[in-house]
A and B are shown apart, each in its own frame.
Chain A
Amino acid sequence: MPELAHHHPALAHQFENLAQQKEASTLGMWVFLVTEILFFGGLFATYCVYRHWYADAFTAASRELIVWAGTTNTAVLITSSLTMALAVRAAQTGERRLLMTLLAATMALGCVFLGIKAFEYYSEYIVHHVPGPGFQFEAEHYRHAQLFFSLYFMMTGLHAIHMIIGLAVMAVMWWLSYRGIITAEYYNPVEVSGLYWHFVDIVWIFLFPLLYLIGRHAH
């Protein structure tokens, strides 16, 4: 078995064996996700400060978002996390067809998410909620509602970019499975990509209540 591992075509020359390679790439992805947390963390910190200062304006602005779209998207993403987790499982057990189906399902759900998001952006553009000279909002909250929408577009926009990167990664994983490179012995790329996908989902799990739900209670 060690002899076989040495000659595995997927083993890069700098590693002693596949186990070391797997550990290294998994740790690498976790470290990368830490940088992502800090990256979004800067935005979340910015959001929290302004939300605290301008609570009324943020509540009013939040009510303008299309909450059913955000809710649907949350469900879509959670489902995609399920199909992703099952895909990793299928990769581990070496079920190639199932793996390809589940990766395709994950990508399809990701596309649904982006489609709904695009619809939301369009709706917000129509009602002049895009920050800038054309921004329109009730006079009382004009400045800080604009700030809310700046943050909304920045945060969901960066999240959407991460989704698009995730879709590209999944497409590569699908191709690797199709070519038979992903096997029960070498499934680490799928597992590591799965970590990334789950992370992007989790960012949304935080974005959704912060952006859509702050105006929904009481009042």
Chain B
Amino acid sequence: MPLPPQHYLNNGYGVKSWLLTRDHKRIALLYLAAVTFFFFIGGAFAVVIRLELATPAGDLVSDETYNKLFTMHGVMMVFFFLIPVIPAVLGNFLVPLMIGAKDLAFPKLNLASWYIYMLGGLFTLYALVTGGVDTGWTFYTPFSTVSSTTKVIPTALGIFITGFSSILTGLNFIVTIHRMRAPGMRWFRMPLFLWSMYATSLIFVLGTPVIAITVLLIAAERVFQFGFFDPARGGDPVLFQHLFWFYSHPAVYIMVLPSMGIVSEIVAAFCRKQVFGYEFVAFSSLAIAVLGFLVWGHHMFIAGESVYAALIFSILSFLVAIPSAVKVFNWTATMYKGSISWDTPMLYAIGFIGLFTVGGLTGLFLAAVGLDVHVTDTYFIIAHFHYIMVGGTIMGYLGGLHYWWPKISGRQYNEALAKLSAGIIFVGFNLTFFPQFVLGYLGMPRRYHAYPPEFQVLNVLSSAGASILGVGYLIPMVYLMWSLRYGKVAGSNPWGATGLEWTTTSPPPTDNFTQTPIVTQEPYVYPRVEGRVA
């Protein structure tokens, strides 16, 4: 079986045909290259951090270098990988395909958002090569505005600029989903991935402007000596924390909601069943997006917050568990009595559900004020948010990348290697981060390069896990690249899945469909099957 004669990948080969493209599918691949680059930079910092922490003494790097390492790790991973990764890569590729449109509503804006992202990345890379930043990715004032002598301004500007690429992506998705749906594609016929993209886009457009103004205030405070957050000049540092977390808590849902959408798609396709409680899953995405804006105060339980504020933020944080649990429950119910095939995407989806559940349940620990005060600024927090952000986001992302890879590239990857690396990642991840729960509970604080010797065993376990995890991330790079040339041709619908993206060729033509599709039924209509047909 050959590839289709005309598709978006062979529609021009020159550099210009890529760098000036307005095709959402090519822009998705530009993003794929860029976020992968930033992922490995952020990962390199993690490698050095874990090497340093293999021994109790602070012997590999100085404390100042260590501060810069964890800051740059956080900045790179949060702003340049985790936030854009799924929306900008898979969302870009899939939103028009899934609603049966030729492209996003604003293709030029889409390309512009990639350039804006790259410009923001350049600012941050500049900060990195000229000495780095040491404030932590949270930029707490007054340290970031008064004390730190490192490259705060270029990093802040990099984040400010990159924010606009998020805003434009979110705006593009919202308008596209509202105005570009194919005939018959009603809201409740949309695949759940689109619901999650819509909810994510809402956070993009409502949250990102606030972090933009916040980092701008930081830059202004440093450049013009305005005193917004500096007590010596009349300001209040806690106000910074409010503004920062107003965005940065919802940002976690920017990372994890898209993954949830992917898991819904994968679970339906590999259990060959309608997603249990479709409407509940769809609305739980919106509920998470809305509730996510009301809980930021749980990051400030120890920052002099009033008892009443803490109480309310605590209760609201507990409430987020409800829509999250609705999803986990519904995925599980979908699998129940489904005819499950254990292909790589499904392995990642199951991995996601497991890790997200651990991350979410430990989040409930942290929503309780008393326990949070006990473990604030310890490795318990680190472990918790890595379970959500790495265990959640990256598992979902890799699951989605494998699921749609035949659509993106037209070819199938090596299934055995893919399963192997999914297993390695799962084991490596848990070995890295589970010991950190224990470390944090025992009292090891975050952001120090040295620690008491009794913590060494758990730290060595964590470092060993990190090396396994690193290998797990490298293997897909290799076999996915390899498949581009040598992979078996996949055909339009290798998984036998529903959804408009599977009705067009793989890779799709530049205009996505030869004629505008007409939608006549709900998503995930799978015929009943007895056992699996190979």
**Residues in A lying within 8 Å of B, measured CB to CB:** 12-16, 20, 23-24, 27-28, 31-32, 34-36, 38-43, 45-46, 49-50, 54, 131-133, 143-144, 146-147, 150-151, 153-154
Contacts and interface: CB of A to CB of B under 8 A. Distances in A.
B209 A147 contact: no
A35 B174 CA distance: 13
Contacts of B208: 35
Nearest to A49: B239
A43 B215 CA distance: 12
A41 B233 CA distance: 22
17 contacts: A12-B107, A13-B102, A14-B105, A27-B174, A31-B170, A32-B167, A34-B205, A35-B205, A35-B206, A38-B206, A39-B213, A42-B213, A131-B226, A143-B234, A147-B235, A150-B227, A154-B228
B92 to A, nearest CB: 14
Interface in B148-178: 167, 170-172, 174-176, 178
A65 to B, nearest CB: 17
B356 to A, nearest CB: 28
Given A14-B105, A28-B105, A147 B228 contact: yes
A151 B205 contact: no
Contacts of A45: 243
Contact of A43 (B102, B104, B213, B235): B213
B209 A36 contact: yes
Interface in B101-123: 101-107
Nearest to B182: A16
B490 interface: no
Interface in B235-271: 235-236, 239, 243, 246
Contacts of A133: 225
A147 B205 contact: no
Contacts of B212: 39
A146 B205 contact: no
Contacts of A38: 205-207, 209-210
A71 B261 CA distance: 51
A154 B213 CA distance: 10
A35 B212 CA distance: 10
Contacts of A132: 224-225
A131 B235 CA distance: 13
Contacts of B227: 131, 143, 146-147, 150
Contacts of A23: 179
A131 to B, nearest CB: 5
Nearest to A37: B209
Given A35-B171, A39-B210, 6 more contacts: A23-B179, A24-B106, A32-B167, A132-B224, A143-B233, A147-B227
A42 B209 contact: yes
B29 interface: no
B171 A32 contact: yes
Contacts of B432: none
B284 interface: no
Contacts of B200: none
Q: Binding site of B, secondary structure by majority: helix, strand, loop or mixed?
A: helix
A5 B52 CA distance: 65
A28 B171 contact: yes
B9 interface: no
Contacts, number: 114
Contacts of B213: 39-40, 42-43
B3 interface: no
Given A131-B226, A146-B234, A147-B234, A46 B209 contact: no
Nearest to A38: B209
Contacts of A36: 209
B205 A14 contact: no
A169 to B, nearest CB: 15
Given A131-B226, A131-B227, A31 B205 contact: yes
Contact of B233 (A42, A49, A146): A146
Contacts of B167: 32, 35
Interface string B202-232: 0001111110111001001000111110001
3 tightest A-B CB contacts, nearest first:
A150-B226, A147-B234, A39-B209
A150 B220 CA distance: 9
Contacts of A147: 227-228, 233-235
Contact of A14 (B101, B178, B239): B101
Nearest to B243: A42
A39 B212 CA distance: 7
A16 B206 CA distance: 29
Contact of A28 (B106, B209, B239): B106
Nearest to B164: A35
B321 interface: no
Contacts of B209: 35-36, 38-39, 41-42
Contacts of B217: 42-43, 46, 154
Contacts of B180: 14-15, 20, 24
Nearest to A57: B234
Contact of A31 (B101, B104, B175, B210): B175
Contact of B243 (A15, A46, A50): A46
Nearest to B229: A46
A157 to B, nearest CB: 9
